[in-house]
């Protein structure tokens, strides 16, 4: 539905349009962190708005907006968040609204705000849902048989480390670990020499499920509050030595960056698309139908501090082989329970080769063919993997018929 114009000036290319209104946690000066909603270049201070009576019709306690995480708000359910979003849309398009009259007291410039980790994350699971990514990586090690036998039958995943999930802008320390140098038989202890990023989408759980009961694919989205961008930092040389037989551990537990704004599923509803055809047909509990992927343009840039950033990759979340309903259903099929604040990430999102100027690869391991083909940056230097001082910037947005909904950025500088 087309909305009336807002009385607030919103740049046409803003990720935070009237159709978005994502939730986050912010503070300003020495204030306590609290709930905010992004709109254009501003943040609606939901705590101040509630205390001033602007949100009286929303039937949400002021304490929920004073919380330093979104968990309390998410636990109220998606219908409550939907009503809040619709109420704010009305307030932002009516010139005589309470929000308009009290705008000076509740609108905070984003440039003056400090963003915080938006959710208290209890558990973090990272999937491996892009067939292009899995195939490209598999070809580096198994050229004749890149996909493992189970890949087309289930959404592969590993259990990540929730304690090291950080908000965009947090510096990333280069990890130390055991590395097996080429041709060596004994590992050395060293800082990683093959530090990589991974471009991903994350889904935030907003509803508890019961231990011992699985969640069906049909009901899966009832448990998802919204989405964030994810950078699952990876130390490829540590990973190569440690991953057999149990998979990633120290190579991925040191940092995962997420965007500060949680975009609701309702805001992404207009951008649904069908996913790829799945062959063979999944087992019954994984079967889904309809437009369950999202048409989200994604990009990766590297900044070196000496020149403008270089966009090195573009892809789209529509290419994901396993959709989020299937990921969640598979996650819970054993009876594993979900809790408010859990984070499920898609794994690296890559896409098919298109012949465009930008490669559709979601990490350097793919883009450089395992470090064999360096990437050229704007300052004339090249990269196979990340160097100290490099800043990785992930961006994502959806746009259709003049309506734009975006995530902002995920930034992280290697130190």
Q: Give the H or E element holding residue 343.
A: strand 343-345
Selection from 132, 124, 88, 140 nearest residue 354 by Cα? 132
Q: Confirm if 323 and 292 have CB atoms less than 8 A apart.
A: yes
Q: How, if at all, do strands 343-345 and 199-205 pair? A: antiparallel
Cα distance between residue 227 and residue 407, in whole Å = 9
Find the largest Cα–Cα distance for the chain.
74
* Contact of 197 with 366, CB cutoff 8 Å: no
Note the helical H segments in 269-387.
324-332, 364-367
Residues in contact with 147: Cβ distance below 8 Å, sequence separation at least 6, in sequence order: 131, 134, 135, 138
Q: Which two tokens stand for residue 7?
A: 């009385």
CA separation for the pair 300, 353 (Å, rounded): 16
Alpha-helical (H) ranges within 125-216 are 131-141
The number of residues in the chain equals 415
User: Chain-centre distance of CA 270, in angstroms?
Assistant: 19
Q: Where are the beta strands (DSSP E) in 117-223?
A: 124-127, 157-159, 165-167, 176-179, 188-191, 195-196, 199-205
Taking the alpha carbons of 247, 251, 255, 258 in that order, is the dihedral positive or negative? Answer: negative
- What pairs with residue 242 in β-bridges? none
From the candidates 96, 116, 133, 330, give the one annotated as an active-site residue.
133
Distance, in Å, from the CA atom of 293 to the CA atom of 295, rounded to the nearest integer, reads 7
User: Are the beta carbons of 214 and 233 closer than 8 angstroms?
Assistant: no
Q: How far apart are CA 391 and CA 259, in angstroms?
A: 15
Strand partners, 345: 126, 202
CB-CB neighbours of 372 under 10 Å: 8
Based on the residue annotation, tell me whether 133 is a catalytic residue of this protein.
Answer: yes
Written as six digits, the tokens of 287 are 């079967």
- Residues annotated catalytic, as ranges: 133
């Amino acid at each position: 539905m087309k909305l009336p114009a807002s009385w607030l000036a919103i740049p046409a290319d803003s990720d935070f349009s009237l159709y978005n209104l994502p939730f986050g946690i912010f503070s300003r000066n020495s204030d306590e962190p609290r709930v905010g909603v992004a709109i254009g270049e501003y943040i609606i201070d939901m705590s101040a708005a509630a205390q001033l009576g602007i949100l009286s019709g929303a039937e949400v306690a002021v304490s929920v907006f004073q919380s330093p995480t979104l968990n309390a708000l998410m636990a109220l359910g998606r219908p409550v968040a939907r009503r809040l979003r619709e109420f704010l849309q009305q307030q932002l398009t009516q010139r005589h609204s309470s929000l308009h009259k009290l705008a000076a007291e509740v609108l905070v410039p984003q440039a003056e705000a400090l963003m915080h980790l938006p959710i208290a994350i209890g558990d973090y699971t990272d999937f491996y849902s892009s067939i292009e990514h899995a195939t490209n990586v598999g070809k580096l090690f198994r050229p004749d048989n890149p996909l493992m036998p189970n890949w087309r039958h289930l959404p592969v995943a590993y259990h990540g480390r929730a304690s090291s999930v950080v908000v965009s802008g947090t510096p990333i320390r280069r990890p130390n670990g055991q590395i097996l140098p080429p041709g060596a038989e004994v590992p050395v202890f060293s800082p990683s020499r093959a530090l990589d990023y991974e471009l991903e989408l994350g889904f935030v759980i907003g509803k508890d499920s019961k231990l011992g009961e699985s969640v069906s694919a049909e009901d899966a989205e009832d448990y998802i509050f919204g989405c964030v961008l994810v950078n699952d930092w990876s130390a490829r040389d540590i990973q190569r030595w440690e991953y057999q037989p149990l998979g990633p551990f120290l190579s991925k537990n040191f940092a995962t960056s997420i965007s500060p704004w949680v975009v609701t599923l309702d805001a992404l509803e207009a951008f649904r698309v069908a996913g790829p055809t799945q062959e063979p047909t999944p087992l019954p509990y994984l079967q889904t139908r309809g437009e369950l992927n999202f048409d989200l343009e994604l990009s990766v840039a590297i900044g070196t501090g000496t020149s403008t950033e270089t966009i090195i990759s573009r892809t789209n979340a529509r290419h994901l082989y396993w959709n989020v309903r299937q990921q969640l259903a598979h996650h819970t099929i054993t009876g594993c329970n979900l809790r408010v604040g859990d984070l499920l990430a898609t794994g690296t999102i890559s896409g098919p080769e298109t012949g465009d100027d930008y490669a559709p690869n979601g990490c350097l391991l793919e883009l450089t063919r395992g470090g064999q083909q360096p990437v050229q940056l704007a300052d004339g230097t090249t990269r196979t993997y990340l160097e100290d001082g490099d800043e990785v910037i992930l961006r994502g947005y959806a746009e259709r018929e003049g309506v734009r909904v975006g995530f902002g950025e995920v930034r992280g500088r290697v130190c």
